[in-house]
Amino acid sequence: MDRVKLVVSERTDVGTTFAKRLRKQGLIPGVLYSAGKEAKPFTVSAHDLREAMASGSGRHAVLDVVFEGHKRGHAAVFKEIQLSAVKQHITHIDLHEIQLDEPIETKVTMQLDGAAAGIKAGGVLEIVTHEINVRGLPQDIPEHIVMDISDVEIGQTVRVKDVPLPSGITALDDAEDALFHIVLPRVEEAEEGEEAAGEPEVVSKGEEQGQE
């Protein structure tokens, strides 16, 4: 996997007011965290950040973070991406410096492919989770994992142990944890006759006296 270069600028000002001012200028505030080192606040062009995230690895890209005025880059991955509540724009990012020869732990999205046999037979797909936790070398972590569901039948549950993991990647979740299953559609309404039989007859007071 190629490293994606991301040029950033050091910043000293922090706080919500300053962050809002930066975003109006087309800049995104962020912090680079490194084990045993002081965190480094920075700003990055929103355009450059979008370009980096548009790479083949997306949010799992291995970044080559270069501070302006410095030659040495920092291999890093996205630790957290904060989004605005309404428009889902990026408002802040946290990066984590890594060693390329040391495994990392992260979440990977599942991408389901194919038309499941159970759905063709009238079943409904119920997804428990879209992601699994994995461990592997940074350059081996995929953007997503594609899983063919063509043979999944009604009543069948697909679990973590069924995921086709790439070479060098191991799942951290319990092997028996469910990812999704196909079930029969729920019956929302009973038949009209059953409803009538289940409801008590309502008799007015006048009718009750007449019957007596």
pLDDT (0 to 100) of residue 212: 46
Nearest alpha carbon to residue 177 among 104, 127, 115: 127
Q: Within 46-201, where are the H helices?
A: 46-53, 117-120, 192-198
User: Which tokens belong to 93?
Assistant: 């990012």
pLDDT value for 35: 87
Question: For 54-65, how does the pLDDT look when each residue is reduced to its tens digit (9 = 90+)?
Answer: 876 778 788 999
Q: Choose among 69, 86, 76: nearest CA to 30.
A: 76
| E strand residue ranges, the chain | 4-10, 27-33, 40-45, 63-67, 74-83, 90-97, 104-113, 124-127, 131-136, 144-148, 157-159, 170-171, 178-183
CATH code for the part of the protein at 104-183: 2.170.120.20
pLDDT of residue 166: 92
Whats the size of the chain, residue-wise? 212
The pLDDT of residue 188? 58
Listed in order, the ranges of the chain carrying CATH 2.40.240.10 are 4-97
Residue limits of CATH 2.170.120.20 in the chain = 104-183
pLDDT at 184: 92
**Averaged pLDDT in 10-residue chunks for the chain of 212 residues:** 84 79 90 92 93 79 91 91 87 93 92 94 95 93 91 96 94 97 76 49 47 48
Q: Write down the pLDDT at residue 85.
A: 85
| Per-residue pLDDT at 2 | 61
Chain-centre distance for alpha carbon 179: 13
Structure tokens that stand for 190 in this block? 């009973």
Under 8 Å between Cβ of 197 and 177:
no
Total-model pTM: 0.70
From the candidate CATH numbers 2.40.240.10, 3.40.190.80, 2.40.110.10, 3.90.1150.10, the one assigned to the domain spanning 4-97: 2.40.240.10
What DSSP state is assigned to residue 86? Answer: T
